[in-house]
Amino acid sequence: MSFMETQTHWTVLLPVRKGNIWRVQIVWPNGTVHHFGEFTSKEDAVDWITAHSRLTMPPEETKGPPLVPSE
């Protein structure tokens, strides 16, 4: 089974270089791969990843407080 066929339970964010720009490779739990952004440096791509680290957490860990208090 290849890496792309392997399903995980989390999202992976990686800085990747495409020519003269850096992008963030997003590998979703179902194996789908997207490339996001156009950054001038690897550091900028890593900063974006750091700021969006919640994307790598399972949904149950990212739930915020309820919008309406439960009764």
State how beta strands 12-18 and 33-39 pair.
Answer: unpaired
In a domain, 70, yes or no: no
In a domain, 65, yes or no: no
Q: What pTM did the predictor assign?
A: 0.68
In a domain, 46, yes or no: yes
In a domain, 53, yes or no: yes
Q: What span, in angstroms and rounded, lies between the C-alpha atoms of 51 and 21?
A: 19
Q: Which residue has the higher pLDDT, 37 or 68?
A: 37
| Total number of domains in the chain | 1
**Residue span of the structural domain in which 35 resides:** 3-57
In a domain, 63, yes or no: no
For residue 2, pLDDT over 60 is answered with no
Q: What is the mean pLDDT of residues 16-34?
A: 95
Q: What span, in angstroms and rounded, lies between the C-alpha atoms of 6 and 3?
A: 5
In a domain, 24, yes or no: yes
Angle at 18 between CA 5 and CA 40, to 5 degrees: 130
